[in-house]
Amino acid sequence: MTAFVFAGLVSTQTFAQSTKVNQSTNVMKVTPVRSDIQINAGESKTVQVTVSNITSSAITVSAIENDFVSGDESGSPALILDEGAYAPTHSLKRFMTPIKNVTIPAGKSVTVKVVITVPKTAQAGGYFGAVRFAPVSSADGGQVNLSPNAASLILLTVPGPVTEKLNLTDFNVQQNGKTGDFFSSPKDIATLIRFENKGNVQEGPFGNISVKNGKKVVYSTDFNTNEPRDQILPDGARRWTVPLKDLGEFGHYTVTATLTYGQKNQTVEVVKTFWIIPQYFVYIAIAAVLLIVALIVFLVLFILKRRRHHVKRPNVSRYRR
């Protein structure tokens, strides 16, 4: 089974393990980049994909069905390129009807119909795959050219009793990628959020992240609320880095994330505190501590000296009697 991770330029919107797919900017483009569909077991649905030829010559393209798996935790899918291979679980390729080659005139677009038929025996949950388009080279006897290709990703949900379970494995505050509780400046501070999907359907957690200094909210931002939302595939993991803004040069801060996912709106709330203490303040504090220590030492020595002086003085009144 050969898997290839795509991390190209297809859209400003990405989603977990399945959005950053290569688009050939010299040959063609594909829309939509991603389709989220729902099909009941035993039924069919057609997904329409538009393939545009942006060259000055007609091209013939082959439509290739692929499954994909989690490529990494930043949102890149790994397409399974072997013709006879399928994803070990959640395979959409098994439900897809083969598509014939299409010829696209220069500067024109063609709509390709992707027919997906879900068997009656299919279990409820998530399935995902892609339709990849690659030019066919006549010089090589009709062989597919794998270099300039583009893909449209499809995420299918089969309704029914599903298992929805996200585990929040990490919630940290970082500066330039380094986790900590104390920072010397508010520059480049962000929160890292990492989920693992232990269910059998893709999930798109969303919500709000806020930062307080004392009781005052100094920053608030929505998390993963754009449509389509970033998704976490079953058996996969996803991490987000969310910049924290409007922080002061000094203070004790509390960052709170309130996140929701699933059909039943399950809620996850997590809190983390951190300090911003500038270096000059640390130097001043160290100097103040040293000064206090010096004063204490001086006072102790002064008291000891006075006591010794008092002991050495003769008791003159005793002799006067």
Q: CB–CB of 65/129 below 8 Å?
A: yes
What is the mean pLDDT of the segment spanning 29-40?
A: 95
- Tell me: do 22 and 98 sit in the same domain: yes
**What's the CA gap between 34 and 17, in Å, rounded?**
12
Q: Which two tokens stand for residue 125?
A: 């949950």
- Tell me: do 13 and 110 sit in the same domain: yes
Q: Which residues of 194-225 are buried (b: 16+ CB within 10 A; e: fewer)?
A: bbbbebbbbbbbbbebebbbeeeebbeeebbe
pLDDT tens-digit readout, 163-201 = 999 999 999 999 999 999 999 999 999 999 999 999 999
What is the mean pLDDT of the segment spanning 299-304?
A: 81
pLDDT tens-digit readout, 204-243 = 999 999 999 999 999 999 999 998 899 999 999 999 999 9
* CB count in 10 Å sphere of residue 68: 31
pTM (2 d.p.): 0.77
- Tell me: do 232 and 196 sit in the same domain: yes
pLDDT tens-digit readout, 244-280 = 999 999 999 999 999 999 999 999 999 999 999 886 6
If you average pLDDT over every residue of the chain, what do you get?
A: 85
Q: What is the percentage of the chain residues whose pLDDT exceeds 70?
A: 83
- Tell me: do 190 and 235 sit in the same domain: yes
| Angle in degrees, CA 301, 305, 306, rounded to 5 | 120
Strands 59-70 vs 125-137: parallel, antiparallel or unpaired: antiparallel
- Tell me: do 59 and 142 sit in the same domain: yes
- Tell me: do 69 and 146 sit in the same domain: yes
Residues in contact with 285: Cβ distance below 8 Å, sequence separation at least 6, in sequence order = none
Q: Indicate which CATH number applies to the domain containing 95.
A: 2.60.40.10
Sort 34 into a burial class: Cβ within 10 Å, 0-12 / 13-18 / 19+.
Answer: buried
- Tell me: do 141 and 25 sit in the same domain: yes
pLDDT grade for 24, boundaries at 50, 70 and 90: very low
- Tell me: do 11 and 127 sit in the same domain: yes
**136 against 308, higher pLDDT:** 136
Total number of domains constituting the chain: 3
pLDDT grade for 300, boundaries at 50, 70 and 90: confident
Q: Is the pLDDT of residue 123 over 70?
A: yes
Q: Which of 142, 158, 174 represents a domain boundary (last residue)? A: 158
Q: Which of 126, 158, 190 represents a domain boundary (last residue)? A: 158
What is the mean pLDDT of the segment spanning 141-167?
A: 82
Q: Indicate which CATH number applies to the domain containing 261.
A: 2.70.50.60
Tell me the residue range of the domain where 257 lies. 166-276
Q: Which residues of 290-309 are buried (b: 16+ CB within 10 A; e: fewer)?
A: eeeeeeeeeeeeeeeeeeee
- Tell me: do 309 and 210 sit in the same domain: no
- Tell me: do 178 and 129 sit in the same domain: no
The reported pLDDT for the residue numbered 316 is 53
- Gap between the terminal Cα atoms of the chain: 113
Which sign, positive or negative, has the C-alpha torsion 243, 271, 264, 195?
Answer: positive
pLDDT grade for 7, boundaries at 50, 70 and 90: very low
| Angle in degrees, CA 198, 202, 208, rounded to 5 | 90
- Tell me: do 141 and 174 sit in the same domain: no
Strands 216-223 vs 178-179: parallel, antiparallel or unpaired: unpaired
Q: Which of 136, 158, 180 represents a domain boundary (last residue)? A: 158
C-alpha distances in Å from residue 151, one per residue of 29, 99, 156, 257: 9, 14, 16, 34
Strands 125-137 vs 109-117: parallel, antiparallel or unpaired: unpaired
Which among 5, 15, 1, 24 has a CA at the least distance from the CA of 93? 1
- Tell me: do 195 and 314 sit in the same domain: no
164: which DSSP letter? -
